[in-house]
Amino acid sequence: MFIKSLKLKNFRNYCDLDLDFNSKKILIIGKNAQGKTNLLEAVYYLSALDSIRAKSDSELIKWGEEFCNIKAEIKKFDIDIDLEININPPNRKKLKVNGLNKNKSSEFISNISAVCFTVNDLLLLRGAPEDRRKWLNNAISQIFPAYIERLNKYNKIKTQKNNYLKDLKGNINADTSMLDIWNEQLAITGSNLIFIRLNFLHELQKIAAEKHKQISNTENLSVFYNSSIIGDINCSEKFPYNNEYILENFKQKLEEKKPEEIIRAQSVVGAHRDDVSFYINDNDAKKFASQGQQRTIVLSLKLAELELIKEKIHTNAILLLDDVLAELDDLRQNFLLDAIGDETQTIITSVDTLHFKEEYLKNVEIFEIKDNTVFKTNF
Ligand SMILES: Nc1ncnc2c1ncn2[C@@H]1O[C@H](COP(=O)(O)OP(=O)(O)O)[C@@H](O)[C@H]1O
Ligand SMILES: [Mg+2]
CA dihedral 227, 232, 238, 241 (to 10 degrees): -60
Residue 41 CA: nearest ligand 1 atom is: 17
pLDDT recorded at residue 272? 98
Residue 50, pLDDT score: 97
Instruction: Pick the ligand that lies closest to the CA of residue 65.
Output: 1
Which ligand 1 atom minimizes the distance to the CA of 32? Answer: 23
What pLDDT is stored for residue 207 in this prediction?
98
Q: How many residues does the chain have?
A: 379
For domain 126-314, give the CATH number. 1.20.1050.90
- How would DSSP label each residue in 247-261? HHHHHHHHHHHHHHH
Q: What residues have their beta carbon closer than 5 A to ion ligand 2?
A: 36-37
**Residue of minimum CA distance from atom 14 in ligand 1:** 33
pTM of the model: 0.96
Distance CA 73, CA 20 (A): 9
Ranges in the chain annotated CATH 3.40.50.300: 1-113+315-379
Q: What is the DSSP string of 104-148?
A: SHHHHHTT--EEEEEGGGGGTTTS-HHHHHHHHHHHHHHH-THHH
Q: Whose CA is nearest to atom 26 of ligand 1?
A: 33
Stretch (H or E) spanning 209: helix 177-216
Beta-carbon contacts of residue 139 (< 8 Å; ≥ 6 apart): 115, 200, 204, 305
* Ligand 1 centroid – CA 331 distance (Å): 31
Q: Which residues of the chain have a pLDDT value below 50?
A: none
For 265-372, strand residue ranges (E) read 275-280, 283-284, 318-322, 346-350, 365-370
8 A C-beta contact, residue 326 and residue 355: yes
The pLDDT of residue 378 is 83
Q: Tell which residue, 18, 136, 11, 2, has the closest CA to residue 66.
A: 11
The CATH architecture one would assign to domain 1-113+315-379 is 3-Layer(aba) Sandwich (3.40)
Look at residue 379 in the predicted model and tell me its pLDDT. 74
* Closest protein CA for atom 9 of ligand 1: 12
For ligand 1, pick from 34, 38, 44 the residue to mutate: most ligand atoms within 8 Å of CB: 38
Model pLDDT, residue 372: 82
Amino acid occupying residue 98: N
Q: What is the pLDDT of residue 38?
A: 97
14-20 and 2-11 strand pairing: antiparallel
What's the pLDDT at 362?
86
pLDDT digits (tens, 9 = 90+) for 154-208: 999 999 999 999 999 999 898 989 999 999 999 999 999 999 999 999 999 999 9
pLDDT attached to residue 341: 86
Q: What is the largest CA-CA distance in the chain?
A: 72
Residues of the chain with CATH 1.20.1050.90: 126-314
